[in-house]
């Protein structure tokens, strides 16, 4: 029996839906006006939380015995399944009027039941398909609309591969490629289509990566502009984690540009972000905070932030799609950079030399940076030792690992 219409299934049909219902699965099922006025739907609408509305819509009895899968609804709305899950759980609250209008019109919610005014845009057009009738009467679709969710997913996988390539090959070879890819993604979003939110988030990710590549290539003005654009797009999408990450990246660029005050302010804003901030992303923010204080020669504040970064890293696990490169080796290298700014090259050099054998092959770019930093510090330190009474005081007097700070001495302020 079909779980949606109750009709009998053909003997050779292993699906839970009959043929007509299965073909209709490709199109968003519209509720009749009266079906929007059931008790569950009205209660969800009265909460003024679109996540409640979406969950109630998926579970509406009109769809059959089972809820509409999140992956299907996400595709119709032009977002990812993860985004829909966060909206339904309340972690991402929809407040942007354009998004509210888009979701309401896509679902066909009667205007009089909404807590906001619909704009004057036309209803979204249904997907255009053509069916070919075979000799046995079966209908076979010969054309189908481009699935926006599949398009976003495909480009996201491409971006992940480019990120891996950058970790091995560096920025110069990738810059022309990603610049061209960015133009193409921009053109996709400008066409309107059925997935403005998903494509806009994709644009934010590509813009952030392009900023990263420009920074690696030494073009800080371009890096700053692309990262600023990524932050704006992330804000428009309501993606708080990506917003926080772009703030961390802006802090990093500010520090490299010689603006420690901006680096500190941006890192603090990033760390005030959402409760679902991953431990690795929080660690990156704390390392940037430490670097900003080190540039201002504020040793106590810098050491405190480094200690907090190690505490945060202890809670991290693999799988962070934004800050996955924040490994213990990376933390040592970034903190050693702060130590160099604080005039403690011996401790920085010793920590870097301990970390260098632990770098993975796929992180060759950061390994090279660590080698350059360690080599530069070693040469400068040997020269300072050759001068009687010269050179900075030793900083590795805590015993054990000279890099990991004494947490008792730099405990977070109450």
| DSSP letters spanning 258-318 | T-HHHHHHHHHHHHTS-TT--HHHHHHHHHHHHHHHHHTT-HHHHHHHHHHHHHHHTT--S
CA 382 to chain CA centroid, Å, is: 43
Residues whose CB is less than 8 angstroms from the CB of residue 225 and which lie 6 or more positions away in sequence, other chains included = 211
Round to whole Å and give the CA distance between 96 and 99: 5
Round to whole Å and give the CA distance between 328 and 372: 18
Asked if 270 and 244 count as a contact pair (C-beta separation under 8 A), the reply is yes
What is the b/e burial string over 387-407, where b = at least 16 CB atoms within 10 angstroms of the residue's CB?
A: eeeebeeebbeeeeebbbbee
Contacts 24+ apart (CB under 8 A), 36-45: 36/109, 36/110, 36/113, 37/113, 42/113, 45/109, 45/113, 45/114, 45/115
Angle between helices 196-216 and 148-169 (to 10 degrees): 10
Does residue 388 come out as left (phi exceeding 0), alpha (psi in the -120 to 50 range) or beta? beta
Closest CA to 249 of 321, 322, 317: 322
pLDDT (0 to 100) of residue 332: 83
Round to whole Å and give the CA distance between 43 and 56: 9
Tens place of pLDDT per residue across the chain (414 aa): 554 455 677 777 666 556 555 544 556 788 888 889 898 998 999 999 999 999 999 999 988 778 888 888 887 887 888 889 999 999 988 888 878 888 898 898 988 888 888 765 444 444 444 455 566 656 555 544 445 566 777 888 888 888 888 877 778 888 888 988 888 887 775 544 444 567 888 889 999 999 999 998 889 999 999 999 999 888 887 788 888 899 999 999 999 999 999 999 999 998 986 666 788 888 999 999 999 999 999 999 999 999 998 888 877 655 556 777 787 888 888 888 888 888 887 777 777 777 667 666 555 555 555 555 545 544 444 333 333 333 333 222 323 333 343 332 222 232
Round to whole Å and give the CA distance between 119 and 103: 12
pLDDT (0 to 100) of residue 371: 53
pLDDT (0 to 100) of residue 292: 94
pLDDT (0 to 100) of residue 352: 72
Q: In Å, what is the CA distance from 384 to each residue of 244, 290, 307?
A: 41, 26, 28
Round to whole Å and give the CA distance between 289 and 116: 41
Does residue 30 come out as left (phi exceeding 0), alpha (psi in the -120 to 50 range) or beta? beta
Strands, E assignment, 47-204: 130-133, 139-143
Asked if 276 and 240 count as a contact pair (C-beta separation under 8 A), the reply is yes
pLDDT (0 to 100) of residue 18: 62
Residues whose CB is less than 8 angstroms from the CB of residue 284 and which lie 6 or more positions away in sequence, other chains included = 245, 248, 323, 326
């Amino acid at each position: 029996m079909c779980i949606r219409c109750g009709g009998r299934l053909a003997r050779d049909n292993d699906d839970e839906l009959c043929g007509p219902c299965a073909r209709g699965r490709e199109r968003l099922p519209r509720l009749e006006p009266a079906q929007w006025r059931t008790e569950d739907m009205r209660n969800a609408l009265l909460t003024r939380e679109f996540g409640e509305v979406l969950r109630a819509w998926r579970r509406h009895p009109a769809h059959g015995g089972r809820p509409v899968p999140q992956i299907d609804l996400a595709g119709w709305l032009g977002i990812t399944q993860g985004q829909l899950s966060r909206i339904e759980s309340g972690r991402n609250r929809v407040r942007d009027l354009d998004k509210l209008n888009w979701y309401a019109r896509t679902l066909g919610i009667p205007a009089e039941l909404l807590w906001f005014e619909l704009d004057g845009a036309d209803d979204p057009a249904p997907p255009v398909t053509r069916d070919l009738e075979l000799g046995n009467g079966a209908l076979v679709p010969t054309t189908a609309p481009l699935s926006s969710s599949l398009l976003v997913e495909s480009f996201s996988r491409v971006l992940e591969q480019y990120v891996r390539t950058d970790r091995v090959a560096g920025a110069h070879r990738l810059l022309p490629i990603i610049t061209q890819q960015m133009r193409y993604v921009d053109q996709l979003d400008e066409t309107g289509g059925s997935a403005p939110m998903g494509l806009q988030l994709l644009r934010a990710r590509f813009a952030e990566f392009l900023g990263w590549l420009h920074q690696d290539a030494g073009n800080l003005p371009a890096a700053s502009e692309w990262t600023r654009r990524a932050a704006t797009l992330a804000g428009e999408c309501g993606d708080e984690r990506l917003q926080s990450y772009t703030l961390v990246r802006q802090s990093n660029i500010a520090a490299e540009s010689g603006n420690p005050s901006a680096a500190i302010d941006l890192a603090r804003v990033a760390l005030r972000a959402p409760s679902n901030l991953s431990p690795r992303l929080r660690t990156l923010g704390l390392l940037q905070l430490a670097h900003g204080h080190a540039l201002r020669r504020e040793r106590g504040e810098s050491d405190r932030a480094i200690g907090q970064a190690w505490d945060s890293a202890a809670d991290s696990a693999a799988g962070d799609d934004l800050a996955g490169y924040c490994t213990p080796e990376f933390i040592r290298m970034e903190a050693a950079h702060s130590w160099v700014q604080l005039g403690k090259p011996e401790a920085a050099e010793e920590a870097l030399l301990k970390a260098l054998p632990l770098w993975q092959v796929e992180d060759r770019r950061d390994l090279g940076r660590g080698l350059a930093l360690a080599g530069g510090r070693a040469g400068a330190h040997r020269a300072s030792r050759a001068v009687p009474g010269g050179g900075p005081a030793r900083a590795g007097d805590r015993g054990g690992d000279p890099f990991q700070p004494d947490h008792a001495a730099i405990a977070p302020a109450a």
